[in-house]
Amino acid sequence: MSGAHPDARPFAPGPALLFVPGDRPERLPKALDRADAAILDLEDAVAGHAKTVAREAMIAADPDPDRVIVRVNGPETPDFAHDLAALAETRVRTVMVAKAEDPASLAPLEGYDVVALCETARGVVNAEHLAALAQVVALMWGAEDLVASLGGTSSRFADGTYRDVARLARSRVLLAAGAFGKRAIDAVHVDIGDLDGLALEAQDAAASGFVASACIHPGQVETIRAAYAPTPEQLRWARGVLAQAEEGAFRFEGRMIDEPILRHARSLVARAGK
């Protein structure tokens, strides 16, 4: 039921994934110095006339296969096959597929670890089928392309919070990933200056079960990392409850504790990395 390949490596890049334009690979070292992993973007960050140059630059840059994910153009585009041909000349083994929709379209990526980016209406409603694929290690969702695919004009209200359709898509992608034992990545917060909003969004993502948030500016990295890190009080509680764990239900600090709550505590300790 998990849909995991028996030889698949666990997908655990760290909480802050920073996009880097594919035609600017010289930015990769700085991005990797700031963030937990980099997403070298051959899709939206690169103009159509520059995509060939971007592929050549990616090959020449020889990206770190352990910390670089390459986002390729959608399978329905002519650029998809060109991106895969260029990718084959690098050591990169983790690929993010833009506008993933049809599970069959990911067949050419056998042998890669695939992050399926569900950012269209069709992609979101097919999230479960994408998550079931053995080569898919994670799902990500995208708000702006999703709303555009619906003919809408904005994914958020004036106060910066998501509209219901975006919240539904976010939840559906997270649930689909979890149902098949895969990881989920939260969408970018496009308002670069809104660090308070980013912090609240990333805190919610971590508490809900996302393992990472993507970002588009180095200035967003530390806010995301801080949001995913448990607070000292959360960590104190988690360690305390695990130290007193008993079989069945028991009481700790006035709260009834059973196995689901113990799993929450284990997750907090795991996120702390110690």
In the numeric block, the tokens 């290690």 are attached to 137
Output the pLDDT for position 9.
54
Q: What is the mean pLDDT of the chain?
A: 92
Q: Does 145 belong to an annotated binding site?
A: yes
Is the confidence at residue 197, as pLDDT, over 50? yes
Is the confidence at residue 236, as pLDDT, over 90? no
Tell me what the mean pLDDT of segment 161-180 comes to: 97
**Could you tell me if 249 and 191 lie in one domain?**
no
**Could you tell me if 145 and 216 lie in one domain?**
yes
Beta strand 16-21 with 37-41 is parallel
- Total number of domains constituting the chain: 2
Output the pLDDT for position 127.
98
**Could you tell me if 210 and 93 lie in one domain?**
yes
**Could you tell me if 221 and 245 lie in one domain?**
no
Output the pLDDT for position 266.
85
Output the pLDDT for position 142.
97
Q: Does 64 belong to an annotated binding site?
A: no
Residue 2's pLDDT band (cuts 50, 70, 90):
very low
**Could you tell me if 94 and 156 lie in one domain?**
yes
Whether residue 46 contacts residue 83, with contact meaning beta carbons closer than 8 Å, is answered with no
Q: What is the pLDDT of residues 80-137, one digit of tens each?
A: 999 999 999 999 999 999 999 999 999 999 999 999 999 999 999 999 999 999 999 9
User: What distance in Å separates the CA atoms of residue 71 and residue 87, rounded to the nearest whole number?
Assistant: 10
**Could you tell me if 79 and 181 lie in one domain?**
yes
What CATH number is attached to the domain comprising 195?
Answer: 3.20.20.60
User: What distance in Å separates the CA atoms of residue 146 and residue 152, rounded to the nearest whole number?
Assistant: 9
**Could you tell me if 179 and 193 lie in one domain?**
yes
**Could you tell me if 99 and 188 lie in one domain?**
yes
195 closest CA partner among 174, 215, 171, 170? 215
261 closest CA partner among 244, 238, 240, 243? 238
Output the pLDDT for position 248.
66
Residue 7 lies in a domain: no
Residue 244 structural domain: 232-272
Residue 8 lies in a domain: no
**Could you tell me if 154 and 258 lie in one domain?**
no
User: Which tokens belong to 75?
Assistant: 């399978």
**Which has the minimum average pLDDT: 210-214, 215-219, 270-274?**
270-274
User: What distance in Å separates the CA atoms of residue 132 and residue 169, rounded to the nearest whole number?
Assistant: 18
Residue 5 lies in a domain: no
Q: What is the pLDDT of residues 4-37, one digit of tens each?
A: 544 445 678 899 999 999 999 999 999 999 999 9
What's the whole-model pTM score? 0.87
Is the confidence at residue 141, as pLDDT, over 60? yes
247 closest CA partner among 257, 255, 238? 257
User: What distance in Å separates the CA atoms of residue 136 and residue 124, rounded to the nearest whole number?
Assistant: 15
Q: Does 83 belong to an annotated binding site?
A: no
**Could you tell me if 253 and 127 lie in one domain?**
no
**Helix, coil or strand: residue 151:** coil
Q: What is the pLDDT of residues 53-86, one digit of tens each?
A: 999 999 999 999 999 999 999 999 999 999 999 9
Q: Name which residue leads in pLDDT, 210 or 256.
A: 210
**Could you tell me if 164 and 251 lie in one domain?**
no
**Could you tell me if 140 and 252 lie in one domain?**
no
Output the pLDDT for position 170.
98
Q: Is the dihedral of CA 180, 215, 23, 27 positive or negative?
A: negative
Residue 70 lies in a domain: yes
Residue 4 lies in a domain: no
